[in-house]
Amino acid sequence: MPTRCQLLSGSLPFLTRPSRTISRTFTSSPCLRLQKRKGGDLGSHLPKHVLPKNQEIPAYPHGPSHIFKQSNKGLYGGSVIQFGNNVSPDTETKTRRHWKPNVLSKSLYSITLKKKIKLRVTAKVLKTIDKVGGLDEYLLGDSASGRRVKELGVTGWNLRFALMQMPVVRARMRAEAAALGLAQEKIDEQWPDIKPVVAPKLSYNEKKKEVARSKEDSRERLRIKKAARKYVRRGWCETMEEGRALAVERAPLRKAARERNERMRERHFELVKKAGGIEAWKTGRAERLAKWIEEAGGKEAWEAMIEAKKAKDRVERMA
């Protein structure tokens, strides 16, 4: 046997041996059941989704940054891009360069809002947040130099306002002001005590009516906007504000026109059904139209009579 086949012949029984699989018919451990994580809102949110939608946020007292504009969308602590030179130690050749802040993208948890907020923060600000005890303490507190509000930036100021609207934070501010000896009138003026408003529980039919009412209100606002644009386009008004005012004034007329068109549409369906189909209705309408033109004395006379009738109806609606 050739040498190259000696090892092969010894391994043939192993290669041709049938494979045997042993399947377990029992198990001694229970199946692992995956459960959903609990604890409320566990995702991260952008700052614009955390800010209150129904309240007007006061303007940032120091204004947005015009030098390093990306700092308006994060917590940069007043850090800006810096410029300088690289100086060669041998030839003293200067090369222009710049230094940017060490910006990190982090999801920081707010205990008061009970949400994770995805922010762009510098390493310096992140160190300060860890030092003071969290995001809420950084936004609400003050630094030793008294420059915390100036370091917050536009985003930090907006988040601070969102925290200040929470009843827990207001109670804390009132307690701190009372500990400092401020008058109760001043405390009530600066931090009014907001009591939660509990909406009355509505029944199923009342909820349906409320939803229908809100949908109708939104449709009416859209109608007023479209009517205002139409009036401006026709030259009846110069601005959209005047067009909206005219649209609100003419709202009853438009409602009456919609109801009239709806009645005409229902009457048209009834006539088509009574005639036996759309083709039969068209044939009968053509015959009636020919009869009306003949009675009016010609097509031009009939069209003039129709225009006069429309003008009269228009004047009556405008009156």
112 with 173, same domain: the answer is: no
Least Cα distance to 70 among 61, 82, 79, 60 occurs for 79
In tens, the pLDDT along 233-257 reads: 988 888 898 999 999 898 888 888 8
Lowest mean pLDDT among 152-161, 200-209, 269-278: 200-209
- With respect to residue 223, please indicate whether it lies within any of the assigned structural domains: no
Take residue 299 and report the two structure tokens written for it.
């097509």
- Phi then psi dihedrals of residue 133, to 5 deg: 110, 25
pLDDT at 136 over 90: yes
Task: Determine the structural domain holding residue 145 and report its residue range.
Answer: 44-164
Using the structure block, give the residue that is written with the tokens 């940069």. Answer: 76
Any idea what the Cα angle at residue 124 is, between residues 118 and 125, rounded to 5°? 40
pTM comes to: 0.50
Q: What is the CATH number of the domain that holds 79?
A: 2.30.170.40
In tens, the pLDDT along 69-112 reads: 999 999 999 999 999 999 999 999 999 999 999 999 999 999 99
Least Cα distance to 272 among 284, 263, 288, 287 occurs for 284
Lowest mean pLDDT among 67-71, 175-179, 193-197: 193-197
- Phi then psi dihedrals of residue 209, to 5 deg: -65, -40
**Over the range 6-29, which residues count as b (16 or more CB within 10 Å of their CB) and which as e?**
eeeeeeeeeeeeeeeeeeeeeeee
Q: What is the largest CA-CA distance in the chain?
A: 121
Using the structure block, give the residue that is written with the tokens 């600066």. Answer: 190
What mean pLDDT is predicted for residues 115-136?
A: 94
**87, 93 contact by CB (below 8 A):** yes
62 with 149, same domain: the answer is: yes
Domain count, the chain: 2
77 with 181, same domain: the answer is: no
What is the reported pLDDT for 4? 54
191 with 142, same domain: the answer is: no
Take residue 256 and report the two structure tokens written for it.
């009456």
What is the reported pLDDT for 76? 95
- With respect to residue 10, please indicate whether it lies within any of the assigned structural domains: no
pLDDT at 270 over 70: yes
85 with 175, same domain: the answer is: no
Lowest mean pLDDT among 1-5, 71-75, 112-116, 266-270: 1-5
Please give the C-alpha separations between residue 99 and each of 83, 95, 104, in angstroms, as whole numbers: 6, 13, 15
Per DSSP, the residues of 60-121 read PTT---SSSGGGGGSB-TT---EEEEEE-TTT--EEEEEE---EEEEEEEETTTTEEEEEEE
- With respect to residue 255, please indicate whether it lies within any of the assigned structural domains: no
- With respect to residue 258, please indicate whether it lies within any of the assigned structural domains: no
137 with 119, same domain: the answer is: yes
- With respect to residue 176, please indicate whether it lies within any of the assigned structural domains: yes
Provide the mean pLDDT of the chain.
84
What is the reported pLDDT for 20? 52
48 with 156, same domain: the answer is: yes
